[in-house]
């Protein structure tokens, strides 16, 4: 195991941790907006960390560049889709949850 492969392990474990946090948020939060808050932010960071870790593991090659390209794509696409679906919910008249 060389230095690049060892360097990728913290990134991958960090990505897994944020995936776990986003999933717990999706399961446990009280209403739609809070659940979307958890998955929107958590999944974006987690997928960025995981893809950076995988491209560091790959080293200098064309495949690593393509993995980084997926990371840039997800960095644009994930917040946009979260925004679109929360906007649709707002337009449909879904009220945010308030603590009684």
Partner 1 sequence: MDNFFLWLGMGLFFLVLLCLYRGVFGPGVLNRVAAISAIGTKTLVILLIMGYIYQRVDMFVDISMVYALLNFLGTITVAKYLEMSGEI
Partner 2 sequence: MTRLTDDIIIRAVARIMIPFIQIYALYVIMHGHHSPGGGFQGGVILGASFILYLITHGLEEARARMSELKAGIFSASGLLIYSGIGLLCLILGSNFLDYGRLSLILKVIPAQARSLGILGVEIGVGITVMAVMFSIFFDISTGGIIPEDEEIKEENG
Residues near partner 1, by CB under 8 A = 1, 5, 9, 12, 15-16, 19-20, 22-23, 26-27, 32, 35-36, 39, 43, 46-47, 50-51, 54, 57-58, 62-63, 66-67, 69-70, 73-74, 77-78, 80-82, 84-85, 87-89, 91-94
- For partner 2, which is the closer residue by CB, 28 or 66? 66
Query: CA-to-CA distance for 1 and 13, rounded, in angstroms?
Result: 17
Query: CA-to-CA distance for 72 and 33, rounded, in angstroms?
Result: 25
Q: Is 87 in the site for partner 2 (CB under 8 A)?
A: yes
Phi, psi torsion values for 96, nearest 5 degrees: -65, 150
Q: Is 83 in the site for partner 2 (CB under 8 A)?
A: yes
Q: Are 35 and 25 in contact (CB under 8 A)?
A: yes
């Amino acid at each position: 195991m060389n230095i690049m492969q060892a360097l990728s392990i913290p990134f991958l474990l960090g990505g897994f941790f944020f995936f776990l946090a986003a999933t717990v948020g999706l399961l446990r939060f009280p209403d739609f907006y809070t659940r979307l808050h958890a998955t929107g932010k958590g999944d974006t960071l987690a997928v960025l960390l995981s893809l950076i870790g995988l491209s560091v593991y790959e080293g200098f090659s064309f495949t690593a560049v393509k993995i980084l390209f997926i990371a840039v794509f997800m960095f644009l696409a994930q917040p946009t889709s979260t925004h679109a679906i929360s906007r649709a919910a707002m337009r449909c008249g879904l009220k945010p949850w308030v603590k009684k």
